[in-house]
Structure 1
Amino acid sequence: MSRLRAVSLFSNCGAGDVGYRKAGFHFEVMAELEQDRLDVCLLNHPGAEGVSGDLRKTWKTVVKKYRAKAGRARPALLCACPPCQGMSSARSGKGSHDDADAGSKDERNLLVTVVANVALELMPALLVVENVPAFFTRKVHHPKDKNPVSAANYLIASLAKDYVAFPLVADLCDFGVPQSRKRAFLTFVRRDIRGLKEMLRLGRTPFPRATHAPDTGDARPVTLREALESFGLPDLDASTRKTASADEFSGFHSVPIWDERIYAMVAAIPPSTGRSAWDNEVCADCGPVTVPAEAATCPKCGEPLLRPVVKEHNGTFRLVKGFASSYRRMHADRPAATVTTASGHIGSDYTIHPTQNRLLSPLECALLQTFPRDFQWGDALKRLGHTNVREMIGEAVPPAFTTMHGEVLRGLLQRQPVRAPMAMSDERCVKGWEKLAGAAKKDGRQDPRSFFEYATASSRSARYLQKRTELQQPI
């Protein structure tokens, strides 16, 4: 463990892995479906070997490349962030959450089979899997018996012989990330790791203690206003090409230009209110009017209000069908809304700047995701465009969190505490177990807590036997 070697699967642009590297882990191999994303990833991890393509076909190449660099030395860490699109609650048309037929239609929902394959081949000391909370409960068909199972419970059962699993469901704003970002993590610790028994004895987990939460932290969550002020970036405005971009940031601090109507609709939303264009009681011609919530046109002139409206084939207007969180300003006095892959769309969830008439720029989104200022993009923006860059940013794991997590993991391996670990009794861990157990019960499968309880009992028995032997007393 003198060299903390690591492997990354589903690496995206490598931002989350930057945090683990900062904590002391060195990535030997990084795998990503899309070559363009892998190129960005390798710019930020220049010592790593890259593997592009579908991991269901290339995972053996990952193993081969790792062994070519490290021989038979086991990795200290295997990181995996499988795609969440098939799980995410932001996606519609997925069918019932408990419908395994619907869940299995998206093949990405069982990419954890690849994670299990690589883990059992390389046997890393630690395995970290990140996804949306639905990862713990969304049903798919088990690859072998075809009965319903959540992807997370499948992975826990597949690795139970060799690993102890620790779940976490948390909002990352509790860890100082300046946005509300609810995520699920599974951290697996190989059963022969010496620090595992000590961690179990102390009632701790391989996760960092929440630093910005009322229940455990010393600070409150960082608000969007505080974060934007700390970035120190110039104001932008979506009305013209000149005002929508700041030249000194190579295109990363720029926003889409809106037409006159969209701009007027956003400008009518009072700054710092968190309100949406659905609430506007304004006509472009008549000014303020009094209208019901469902109104699409002005009662005086009949023209469309400054609300999200669409014109029907018969010439009438109606409100756009959408979520209440769309066409809405972010709340300045709260952590930012979750930075998603759709941060460049006004009709997505909470994407409008709290005070200025525009969306957030890719640079602001990256900084809210806690990307370091020196993160390398190469010519990605020029080659791939804003949409692809925003997607990479939206799918990243915030490196501020992975740095903290990595410090706890390093302390566990080296048995030298670096950062305070989270207690097993923490509500974020308890919630994780509850989700996993509830899903297993519905599926008629073994409670995943039984695997953990067995490890805890085994650890206690081992300590008891050792103590009795030291005292030279008969048992």
Structure 2
Amino acid sequence: MNSATPSAVSLFSNCGAGDVGYAKAGFSFRVMAEIEQRRLAVALANHKHACGVPGDLRFTWREVIASFRSDAGPERPALLSACPPCQGMSTARGGRGREEDAEAGSRDGRNLLVEVIAQVANRLRPRIVVVENVAAFLSRLVLDPRNDEPISAAVLLRDLLDPRYECYPFLTDLADYGVPQRRVRAVMTFIRSDEPAVAALAQSECVPYPMPTASAEDGNWTSLEDALSQLGAKPLDAKSEVAARDPSQPMHTVPVWGSNHQYRMVAAIPPSSGGRAWDTAVCEARCDSPVGADDAVCATCGNPLLRPVVCETDGSFRLVRGFRRSSYSRMRPDAPAPTITTASGHVGSDNTIHPVENRVLSPLECAHLQTIPDDFDWGTALNDWGPTAVRAMIGEAVPPRFTEMHGRVLAALLDGRTEGLTSANDRRVAKADGRMQRGLPARHLTAHGQLRQ
């Protein structure tokens, strides 16, 4: 490894897929930290020069510092990247409360893991810190551990970091950067104020993010159909074990549904329609009977409709209780895929059904839509832990296509160059600023929610 190569440290590394982009941009990871030993093994297989620190970072963050120091001595890392868990930020599940409910937000300790990031950053003093998370990270309120005051994790992180870091929040759909899925993410980049890059950004009226390469307005987002065509994977079908897998490509396999109701329900959704099983108006016997939006059985034959239904203990049927807007739905082929999540293998999760074929997407296809490189080394993860664990790693990854573009901008800034930067007046900056303002402690705001002068 060239001594001139900018060094990097990764926290909450997952499988290391997101950091592959920063590595392609020229950063060399010396330390990777991940709570799951198995995920860390995958990360280290793809970052050969890194030392691994397994375990809960609330207890192992000092080991991260020691590991970097033992390898790099007094050198400061050029980059600290972190992607803390986002599950606690969601308000979609019971018990998490609304976004402004700080007490509910604090029930999940993962929402306060920014404290670990600040601990490591304030001691290693990296030139740049990058933190990625869901949009709610900027505004979802938690209780400040210092004074029990409502504050967002993003604002807390900014406050805990050394004040010599300049903060640049950003909120974007990664489809604007050629990622073939809708994936809205918050990114916070912190640069030390003594870096020439800070003055250069101020002079150019830009922020440290790459210019978007696509937009919905220009009609040049990468569609799911184009992305899957580029991959060229073998057609699959969930009806049988043989049809549900490609023996030549272990990552290209899907759950088997056989010939049961679930399979027939999916098969009844017209291909390429983007349709939902909730709207299917036929039953198992294909009777020609009027069907209401809330009906679960056919009025003529009593058979269940080809909809998401549950058989009760008394033999009656009812519709599944759940989100009807996007669950049990085919993906639209002419648009970017919906967000690839950890639940990509579940037919009842948000928009997981293949646009044409009767199945969900395979781990191979999900990795492709996440822009994880074809040569990414998954080791024995698929055989040892199964596709569910691999899908979880894929769903939690930051798309390397974006991190590579971001990394190239950051590397140029550290080298004194301002190339291909987004304007400070861009709507993505304004949206992030607005979200962060909602996450400020009450003492910073007027009675009308405006920032105090």
Q: Structure 1 length normalisation: TM-score?
A: 0.91
CA distance in 1, matches of 2:143, 2:438: 17
Aligned pair count? 446
Amino acid across the alignment from 1:408: V
CA distance in 2, matches of 1:36, 1:89: 29
Q: What corresponds to 2:215 in structure 1? A: 213
Q: What corresponds to 1:171 in structure 2? A: 173
Would you identify which runs of 4 or more consecutive aligned residues in structure 1 move more than 6 Å? none
Q: Is 2:76 the counterpart of 1:74?
A: yes
Contact 1:85 1:91 (8 Å CA) reproduced? no
Q: 1:91 to 1:185 in 2, by over 3 A?
A: farther
How far does the alpha carbon of each residue in 1:349-378 deviate from its partner, in whole angstroms, 9 at most, with x for none?
000000000000000000000000000011
Q: What corresponds to 2:149 in structure 1? A: 147
Contact 2:122 2:162 (8 Å CA) reproduced? no
Q: What corresponds to 2:329 in structure 1? A: 328
Contact 2:329 2:353 (8 Å CA) reproduced? yes
Provide structure 2 residue ranges, at least 5 long, that are not aligned to the other structure: none
Q: What corresponds to 1:461 in structure 2? A: none
Contact 2:283 2:304 (8 Å CA) reproduced? yes
Contact 1:286 1:300 (8 Å CA) reproduced? no
Q: What corresponds to 1:104 in structure 2? A: 106
Q: What corresponds to 1:58 in structure 2? A: 60
How far does the alpha carbon of each residue in 1:90-128 deviate from its partner, in whole angstroms, 9 at most, with x for none?
544311211111111100000000000000000000000
Q: What corresponds to 1:444 in structure 2? A: 443
Q: Residues 351-362 of structure 1 correspond to what in structure 2 (within 5 A)?
A: 351-362=352-363
Contact 2:210 2:422 (8 Å CA) reproduced? yes
1:7 shift after superposition: 0.1
Q: What corresponds to 2:367 in structure 1? A: 366
How far does the alpha carbon of each residue in 1:9-46 deviate from its partner, in whole angstroms, 9 at most, with x for none?
00000000000000000000000000000000000001
CA distance in 1, matches of 2:289, 2:373: 46
Q: Structure 2 length normalisation: TM-score?
A: 0.95
Q: Structure 1 stretch 287-296 or stretch 259-268: which is displaced more?
A: 287-296
Q: Is 2:307 the counterpart of 1:280?
A: no
CA distance in 2, matches of 1:243, 1:26: 42
Q: Is 2:436 the counterpart of 1:415?
A: no
Q: What corresponds to 2:9 in structure 1? A: 7
1:77 shift after superposition: 0.2
1:289 shift after superposition: 3.5
Contact 2:353 2:359 (8 Å CA) reproduced? yes
Amino acid across the alignment from 1:396: A
CA distance in 2, matches of 1:89, 1:275: 26
1:444 shift after superposition: 2.5
> Which secondary structure state, in structure 2, belongs to the residue aligned with residue 440 of structure 1?
coil
1:134 alignment partner, one of 124, 133, 136: 136
Q: What corresponds to 2:298 in structure 1? A: 298
Q: What corresponds to 2:377 in structure 1? A: 376
How far does the alpha carbon of each residue in 1:393-431 deviate from its partner, in whole angstroms, 9 at most, with x for none?
0000000000000000001100134x5011110100110
> Which secondary structure state, in structure 2, belongs to the residue aligned with residue 155 of structure 1?
helix
**Structure of greater Rg:** 1
Q: What corresponds to 2:86 in structure 1? A: 84
Amino acid across the alignment from 2:241: R
CA distance in 1, matches of 2:417, 2:438: 36
1:287 shift after superposition: 4.1
CA distance in 1, matches of 2:139, 2:197: 30
Provide structure 1 residue ranges, at least 5 long, that are not aligned to the other structure: 454-475
Q: Structure 1 stretch 5-14 or stretch 149-158: which is displaced more?
A: 149-158
1:143 shift after superposition: 1.3
1:299 shift after superposition: 1.1
